[in-house]
């Protein structure tokens, strides 16, 4: 059996998550499911719930890696819940679990996951035109080491297409 690709979707939690973020994240989740990949999220609200909802509606497999030690904190669309009890340190677990990362907006928590993913050279694609902590780095690098370029994308479909190309490269 061939291992399924695991795509992490990160972005705004419930605070700061707009209907635009939710719509885009939902569509990203649908496209991930259509690609027969596993959707990984932080398992909570906002972008995480919307992406999980989209993948769930498209009959995909969803995994939520939550910071709490109680699985009931996860959103209702997580098929598999991994309660870490690690708090924010779970951002590193999310990054290491992923074969690639899609970014839908986000604040400092998202930036933390982006930094962890960058350090482990995980391919990343960010949806353009969403004001976030990631905006200055889209189509560029986080620092002088140039570990991995954060590729910009206009649409959910294109973001999933690009991340799959980067994972399979």
DSSP state of 46: T
Under 8 Å CB-to-CB from 161, ≥6 apart: which residues? none
CA–CA distances in Å: residue 142 to residues 72, 114, 117, 165: 35, 9, 11, 21
d(CA 80, CA 61): 8
pLDDT at 14: 87
The mean per-residue pLDDT over the stretch 4-25 comes to 95
DSSP state of 2: P
Is this prediction's pTM over 0.95? yes
Query: How sure is the predictor about 16, in pLDDT bands with cuts at 50, 70 and 90?
Result: confident
Taking the CB of residue 50, how many other CB atoms lie within 10 A of it?
Answer: 28
All structural domains of the chain: 6-168 (3.40.50.450)
Q: What is the pLDDT of residues 25-83, one digit of tens each?
A: 999 999 999 999 999 999 999 999 999 999 999 999 999 999 999 999 999 999 999 99
């Amino acid at each position: 059996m061939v291992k399924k690709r695991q795509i992490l979707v990160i972005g705004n939690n419930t605070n700061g998550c707009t209907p635009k973020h939710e719509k885009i994240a939902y569509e990203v989740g649908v496209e991930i499911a259509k690609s027969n990949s596993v959707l990984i999220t932080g398992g909570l609200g906002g972008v995480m719930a919307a992406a999980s909802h989209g993948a769930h509606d498209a009959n995909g497999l969803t995994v939520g890696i939550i910071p709490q030690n109680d699985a009931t904190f996860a959103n209702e669309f997580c098929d598999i819940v991994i309660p870490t009890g690690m708090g924010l340190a779970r951002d590193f677990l999310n990054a290491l679990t992923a074969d690639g990362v899609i970014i839908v907006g986000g604040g400092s928590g998202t930036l933390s996951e982006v930094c962890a993913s960058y350090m482990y050279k995980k391919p990343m694609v960010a949806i353009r035109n969403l004001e976030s902590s990631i905006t200055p780095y889209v189509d560029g690098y986080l620092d002088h080491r140039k570990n991995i370029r954060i590729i910009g994308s206009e649409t959910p479909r294109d973001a999933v297409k690009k991340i799959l190309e980067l994972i399979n490269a």
